[in-house]
Each structure stands twice: as structure tokens, then as C-alpha cells.
């Protein structure tokens, strides 16, 4: 299930996710090597103009050009402008950002990955699992509310070619990424209506996060096939 959760952002529009875990488990590899529809920002350094829009030229940024924008080394996420994180936070909530009086909509998801090689139970006693994030994100509960999923990367083994690769046939990743991209325009949330009751404990944003996540993971078999085929593609667990 964790393997599929890693891939939800390729299928679900505006899906925001954090994955933290040990080195060598394939966190960055998925977003750098598997799909041409994703972009990896190494080191976490970004500019508002490159990420969203260049106010001088009007050139749209990465969230308009790619299905997924991934920040590598999440503890280093920073922008060239002081309000960069707030602009991203607003985009993560609404899928929109502004250029002057113009409101621009995009559907690129925001993914953040980073190394987190600690005793998890001890960390939960003394802090929380988002502690590697920069302070303006780590200590901001409003930012936490805009995340749709947290992937526990410590549950994945390190990639071992002798265990995780096959000598049989598989699908090339270009084909797999096209399948993911073609699934993005369709919503599968209606499948859940009348079947799932969340009770009164979840907020509106909690329900949105749950809907976005399980509408892909528990999608009808016909649509789930494109995602599940990742498990067959060279049997690479990206983990």
C-alpha cells in the first residue's frame, strides 16, 4: 500500500505529500527518473518566478508545466522571496496563485521528500514526524492541514537489485507515466459517495485529504490497473 501511496500524486491533481525515511529507499528516484511529467528540485532551493509565475514576462512556472513538483532534501526548502512559503501554502490549499490582479490555476502537486533516519518511537515522544521540515513549515499547523498524505519511508527496504529487479518482461516507465497522466482528468471520488461515512471527527480539509488519497488507492479495478502495473513494471519497489 505504501508503494501505491508514493504514486498518488501522479494520478490525482493537486495532491500534496511528504515522505521521510532513510537514505537509499528510492524517494527521489521515483520523481526524477520514472516520469517526464514530474520535476525534482534538488536541494530544495526555488524561486517564486520559477515555481509559480514570472511577473515580468508572464511565464508560467513548474506547477503549471508538470503534474508533480518534488522538493528533494525537504529540510532545505526555501524561496528567494520572504513570502514564497506563504504563496506555496496558498497554492496547496486552492490550486491557485496570483499575478497582479490575475488568478492563475494549476494542477501540479507538491511533494517533499527527505532523509529521516531516527528512532521513530523516540521521535514521537519528544517531537513530531514533520520535524525535518524548515521551521516555517514544521511549526505551522495551517501548512500541515494542506498536506494530503504522509508516507512513512522507514517502512520501505533499501533497493537491492538482486531482490527488486526481474529478468522477465515489464512495462517501460514511459508507458506507465502516460497511463498515470491520462487518469488525471477523471475523478473517482463519486465512487465513494454513499459507501464511506467519516463521522464528525474530521474537518473539511481532513475529508478532502482522505478523498483524494483513497479515491486513487481504492479506485475501480479498471482504473486502478494503471497504478498497480507499477508493481509489475520490472518489479521495482522504488523502495
CA torsion sign, 127 to 212 to 146 to 14?
positive
Task: Decide if pLDDT at 40 tops 90.
Answer: yes
Confidence of residue 228 (pLDDT cuts 50, 70, 90): low
The proportion of the chain whose per-residue pLDDT surpasses 90, expressed as a percent, equals 34
pLDDT for the residue 227: 52
Q: What residues make up the domain containing 218?
A: 1-239
* 8 A C-beta contact, residue 70 and residue 151: no
Average pLDDT over residues 203-231: 69
Q: Exposed/middle/buried for 200, CB within 10 Å: 0-12, 13-18, 19+?
A: exposed
pLDDT for the residue 219: 59
Q: How many domains does the chain have?
A: 1
Task: Decide if pLDDT at 238 tops 50.
Answer: no
Give the number of residues written for the chain.
239
pLDDT for the residue 234: 38
Please tell me the pTM assigned to this model: 0.83
pLDDT for the residue 222: 41
Confidence of residue 239 (pLDDT cuts 50, 70, 90): very low
Indicate the range of 19-28, 145-154, 162-171, 178-187 predicted with least confidence: 162-171
pLDDT for the residue 19: 92
Query: Which cell numbers hold the place of 115?
Result: 532523509
pLDDT by residue (tens digit) across 43-98? 878 999 999 999 888 899 999 999 999 999 888 888 988 889 999 999 999 999 98
Q: What is the CATH number of the domain that holds 212?
A: 3.40.50
Query: Which cell numbers hold the place of 61?
Result: 512556472
Task: Decide if pLDDT at 237 tops 50.
Answer: no
Task: Decide if pLDDT at 209 tops 60.
Answer: yes
* 8 A C-beta contact, residue 35 and residue 42: no
Q: Exposed/middle/buried for 23, CB within 10 Å: 0-12, 13-18, 19+?
A: exposed
Task: Decide if pLDDT at 236 tops 90.
Answer: no
Amino acid at each position: 500500500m505504501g508503494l501505491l501511496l508514493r504514486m498518488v500524486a501522479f494520478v490525482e491533481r493537486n495532491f500534496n505529500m511528504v515522505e521521510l525515511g532513510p537514505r537509499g529507499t528510492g524517494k527521489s528516484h521515483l520523481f526524477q527518473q520514472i516520469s517526464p511529467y514530474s520535476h525534482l528540485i534538488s536541494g530544495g532551493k526555488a524561486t517564486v518566478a520559477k515555481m509559480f509565475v514570472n511577473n515580468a514576462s508572464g511565464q508560467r512556472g513548474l506547477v503549471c508545466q508538470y503534474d508533480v513538483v518534488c522538493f528533494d532534501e525537504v529540510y532545505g526548502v526555501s524561496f528567494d522571496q520572504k513570502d514564497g512559503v506563504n504563496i506555496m501554502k496558498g497554492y496547496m490549499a486552492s490550486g491557485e496563485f496570483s499575478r497582479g490582479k490575475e488568478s492563475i490555476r494549476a494542477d501540479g502537486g507538491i511533494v517533499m521528500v527527505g532523509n529521516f533516519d531516527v528512532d521513530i518511537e523516540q521521535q514521537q515522544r519528544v517531537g513530531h514526524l514533520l520535524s525535518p521540515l524548515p521551521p516555517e513549515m514544521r511549526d505551522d499547523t495551517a501548512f500541515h492541514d494542506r498536506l494530503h498524505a504522509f508516507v512513512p519511508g522507514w517502512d520501505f527496504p533499501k533497493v537491492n537489485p538482486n531482490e527488486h529487479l526481474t529478468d522477465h518482461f515489464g512495462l517501460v516507465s514511459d508507458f506507465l507515466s502516460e497511463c498515470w497522466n491520462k487518469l488525471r482528468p477523471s475523478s473517482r471520488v463519486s465512487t465513494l459517495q454513499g459507501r464511506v461515512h467519516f463521522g464528525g471527527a474530521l474537518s473539511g480539509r481532513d475529508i478532502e485529504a482522505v478523498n483524494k488519497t483513497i479515491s486513487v488507492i481504492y479506485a475501480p479495478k479498471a482504473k486502478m490497473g494503471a497504478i498497480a502495473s507499477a508493481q509489475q513494471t520490472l518489479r521495482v519497489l522504488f523502495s
